[in-house]
Structure 1
Amino acid sequence: MKFIHTADLHLDSPFLGLKSHVLPNELWEKVHQSTFDSFQRIIDDAIEQQVDFVLLAGDLFDREERSVAADAFLVAQLNRLNEHGIEAFISFGNHDYSTADPASFGYPANTLVFGNQVETKQYTLNDGEVVAVSGFSFDKQWITQPMIQDYPTAVSDVNWNIGMLHGSLSSLNSPEANYAPFTLSELEEKGYDYWALGHIHKRQSLNEQQTINYSGNTQGRHINESGEKGYLLVQSDDQHLQTKFVPTAPIVWDRVAISLDKMSADQIVESILEKIANLHYDKLHFIRIQLASQTAIDADLLAKINNGDLLDDLQDINADKWQQLNCWITSIEAPQVKSLVYSSIDQDYFNQAKAATLNDEVFDQILKDFNKQPTFIKDEVGSEESKQEIFDQAGAILQENVVHEDTEEDKSK
């Protein structure tokens, strides 16, 4: 038995974190097409590898109101699988939830779509082995009840038992834990040979045997989805399953650290571009520059970083050189200085003020402003990584203002 486990395609993602008017037109087209290109490569591999079936564990589309183009693209790829005798199992997630009759989607005969209640579908492989696949599709954005309770235990009259579940570990302290929560022990108690999980975009195995897996999303959409993205190829070896990650994303998000120590303001742009050129990217990268310094930063330089002037300067040059560098600079992270010397404010006092201003209670109040926004926006803003980035940027701005005020005070003396 050989199959592909993939999830979270997010076809037609709007890539809201990128400013399309800043990106060169050709680059923006590559970004917009990237979720489609990654999935097409997965189907290419499925055909080349002659897999028995493909598992699509939720969030195939970025939103419930899927575009005509995205719908037609998915049908075309499913038809390609059908032409090669490859079965496809689909469960819809919280982004592409649906209560429609699967027969209305126009999918080919090889495609099995799970309904809104947990059900099991059996499939016989070419070698006669029988596979039982259990799963369900979201019928609304939020499913807070533990659907794992409705999954049957493994049956003995088939060769392989597989579970598909779009959801999250209930132990997660994040909004993501509100989606069909489950515990690891609950999954293990079902006795399945493999769990194909979706929803969490970070690829990871939850057990030592690597048979309970999140495949991650197929194309990173912002800096918090960094690294290679793709699918999991699963193959049987006697009665054991071997899992291999295969990258397919045409764009990789990453961070590049650069030290500001002993660097003048007029050297920064040149130094950053030189550092990127020396990385020799063989695949298109979207990167965040992480500036670091062990000493206090000149107030004017800090202002140039925080007000966006430095990023503007870099992107102006990047617009002409992105093909040569195989890279686009999306953002800059201001340096976090460990200790500063002020003329009129004590470092401890500054740290106390920062802690009082930037804390979880304040952040929760900020999140309330996003209640009327689409769920995926609030989820992204509310993640731990996003919170830390917001706190870091706010701290840098506070630092800049304090340094600026102290400098102005010194000048007036």
Structure 2
Amino acid sequence: MKSFRFIHAADLHLDSPFKGYMNIPSKEITSYIKNSTFIALQTMVDLAIREKVQFVVLSGDIFDLADRSLRAQIRFQKEMLRLGENNIQVFIIHGNHDPEDGSRADLKWPDHVHFFPSNQVEMIPALDRNGQEIAHIYGISYPTRSVTSNLTEKFNIKDVNQYNIALLHTNLDGNPAHDNYAPSHKEDLLKLAVNYWALGHIHTRQIVHEEPHIVYPGNIQGRSVRELGERGCYIVDVDETRTTKLTFVALEAVRWIHNKINIADLKSEQDLKDAVDLQLKMLDEEKDNKPTIARFTFEGYGPLHHFLNEDVNVKELLMEYQEKYTLESIKVDRSFVWIESFKIKTSPEISKDQYMDDSHYLGDLLRISQHLLNDSNQLQAFNEEALFSMKSHLKAGKYLREMDSEQQRIEWLKTAEELVLHLLLEEVK
């Protein structure tokens, strides 16, 4: 077989409402953020043309709503036409956000763009620039928003000697962070003669399995602080022996970051300001001129706890940084930093030693905790008893069992100790 290259992307969510920019005073920055999904799409098309890929596969949720905005459809059509001008095929499935029954404009789509139907799995050959088959592309779309059946049961791979790529918008192995649409299992996918499963729906990129490949590329543009860091697509190279190599390429127009600042060593308001300034300086050096929306969380124990828990102080500090960095960014270029919020998760300084010998319940708590930390067997037994009901839960139990280790049990106990300690402190006083 011939070697070839393609792009795998998913979850474009074009024209998605962008959370976190509502209070930005700059119209220029606001406009840039509102267009971020379109900019990421354009960057992906530029990449496809520059890297001379033979085709692009898009694994669902191209649009953010079933009733697609006309703006999003026209922008998408424009970029698909650009791919066609460079002889790049496009294979697309609909997902839960843009199901087949959603309303759409009557736009003409060129021959090189193929939308898979929802009533059956269809196979379309991918061709090189000489018209020769290089891969078989299989896919099935969502007919409606809520698909609860396992769509892998519909796949029938006909030619096992061909390099087969299957597009599927699915919640693999019941990821609890996403709606359980078109649920599937890794074992189901591995049974079929598919060389590359091009998945969509989960917004965090993940290579689930290699040879055969099962891949989530994640979304191309983070839309809130829940979608941090680089977002983009995979360039996939397949050689003559069917060896498959993946290269991730970031596409996001705006990057979300979440930094934490521990207040333990901060003694004054000046120390606090210096700590924020240092974080911003480090961010500016690391972000590769990428426009950034940042959230900072103050945590830990220290004398600034009471200052930070006065709402007016945090609001004034945030306002000062927002005004400063917005004005400076507009003067220079689009490489802005917008501080979305300061979150406070701090506690007052506490010396556990002064309560360790106390006859109050607080002293009992600390002594029991210390005893468990010194006896790994008793800590394990305590953990099993405390988490019994949660470990019996179908979904939560699976992840708790996977996380369970001696180090994790110690961290859980210390976290619980600190939480209860601060909840009871006011009562003791």
**TM value normalised by structure 1:** 0.77
Distance 2:210 2:312 in 1: 44
What is the CA-CA distance between 1:185 and the residue it aligns to? 1.0
- Which SS does the other structure have where 1:168 is aligned? coil
Correspondence 1:331 to 2:333: no
Contact persistence 1:98–1:139 (CA under 8 A): yes
Distance 2:424 2:26 in 1: 37
Q: Which region of structure 1 is more displaced relative to structure 2, 286-295 or 122-131? A: 122-131
| Aligned counterpart, 1:49 | 51
| Aligned counterpart, 1:165 | 168
Q: Which region of structure 1 is more displaced relative to structure 2, 249-258 or 84-93? A: 249-258
Taking a change above 3 Å as real, the CA distance of residues 41 and 144 of structure 1, as seen in their structure-2 partners, is same
Map 1:118-133; keep pairs closer than 5 Å: 118-126=121-129, 128-133=132-137
What is the CA-CA distance between 1:242 and the residue it aligns to? 1.0
Contact persistence 2:233–2:250 (CA under 8 A): yes
Distance 1:349 1:142 in 2: 51
Map 1:11-410; keep pairs closer than 5 Å: 11-15=14-18, 17-99=19-101, 104-117=106-119, 118-126=121-129, 128-153=132-157, 155-156=159-160, 159-176=162-179, 178-209=180-211, 211-238=213-240, 239-260=242-263, 261-279=265-283, 280=285, 281=287, 282-295=289-302, 297-304=304-311, 308-323=315-330, 326-337=336-347, 340=350
Q: Aligned partner of 1:194: which letter?
A: Y
| Aligned counterpart, 2:372 | none
Percentage identity across aligned positions? 28
Distance 2:185 2:275 in 1: 48
Distance 1:347 1:132 in 2: 66
Taking a change above 3 Å as real, the CA distance of residues 350 and 95 of structure 1, as seen in their structure-2 partners, is farther
Taking a change above 3 Å as real, the CA distance of residues 210 and 327 of structure 1, as seen in their structure-2 partners, is farther
What is the CA-CA distance between 1:243 and the residue it aligns to? 0.9
Taking a change above 3 Å as real, the CA distance of residues 348 and 151 of structure 1, as seen in their structure-2 partners, is farther
Q: Which region of structure 1 is more displaced relative to structure 2, 201-210 or 81-90? A: 201-210
Distance 1:397 1:77 in 2: 52
What is the CA-CA distance between 1:33 and the residue it aligns to? 1.1
- Which SS does the other structure have where 1:225 is aligned? coil
| Aligned counterpart, 1:369 | none
Higher Cα radius of gyration: 2
Distance 1:350 1:20 in 2: 45
- Which SS does the other structure have where 1:72 is aligned? helix
| Aligned counterpart, 2:379 | none
- Which SS does the other structure have where 1:334 is aligned? strand
- Which SS does the other structure have where 2:72 is aligned? helix
Distance 1:154 1:12 in 2: 38
Taking a change above 3 Å as real, the CA distance of residues 241 and 306 of structure 1, as seen in their structure-2 partners, is farther
Q: Aligned partner of 1:129: which letter?
A: E
Q: Aligned partner of 2:235: which letter?
A: L
What is the CA-CA distance between 1:301 and the residue it aligns to? 2.5
**TM value normalised by structure 2:** 0.75
Q: Deviations over 1:89-112 (max 9, x none)?
A: 010111111237999442111111
Contact persistence 1:167–1:180 (CA under 8 A): yes
What is the CA-CA distance between 1:120 and the residue it aligns to? 1.7
Contact persistence 2:167–2:199 (CA under 8 A): yes
Distance 1:21 1:50 in 2: 41
What is the CA-CA distance between 1:122 and the residue it aligns to? 2.2
Taking a change above 3 Å as real, the CA distance of residues 60 and 346 of structure 1, as seen in their structure-2 partners, is farther
Taking a change above 3 Å as real, the CA distance of residues 212 and 398 of structure 1, as seen in their structure-2 partners, is same
Taking a change above 3 Å as real, the CA distance of residues 399 and 24 of structure 1, as seen in their structure-2 partners, is farther
What is the CA-CA distance between 1:401 and the residue it aligns to? 10
Give structure 2 stretches of 5+ with no counterpart.
Answer: 367-386, 390-417
Q: Which region of structure 1 is more displaced relative to structure 2, 88-97 or 128-137? A: 128-137
Q: Aligned partner of 2:269: which letter?
A: A
What is the CA-CA distance between 1:135 and the residue it aligns to? 1.0
- Which SS does the other structure have where 1:335 is aligned? strand
Distance 2:158 2:115 in 1: 20
| Aligned counterpart, 1:390 | none
Distance 2:107 2:159 in 1: 31
Q: Which region of structure 1 is more displaced relative to structure 2, 326-335 or 67-76? A: 326-335
What is the CA-CA distance between 1:182 and the residue it aligns to? 0.7
Give structure 1 stretches of 5+ with no counterpart.
Answer: 352-358, 362-395
Distance 1:346 1:303 in 2: 30
Taking a change above 3 Å as real, the CA distance of residues 224 and 240 of structure 1, as seen in their structure-2 partners, is same
Taking a change above 3 Å as real, the CA distance of residues 102 and 27 of structure 1, as seen in their structure-2 partners, is closer
Q: Aligned partner of 1:335: which letter?
A: K
- Which SS does the other structure have where 2:345 is aligned? coil
- Which SS does the other structure have where 2:246 is aligned? strand
What is the CA-CA distance between 1:137 and the residue it aligns to? 1.1
Q: Which region of structure 1 is more displaced relative to structure 2, 248-257 or 27-36? A: 248-257
Number of aligned pairs?
362
What is the CA-CA distance between 1:308 and the residue it aligns to? 4.1
Taking a change above 3 Å as real, the CA distance of residues 38 and 400 of structure 1, as seen in their structure-2 partners, is farther
What is the CA-CA distance between 1:230 and the residue it aligns to? 1.1
- Which SS does the other structure have where 2:280 is aligned? helix
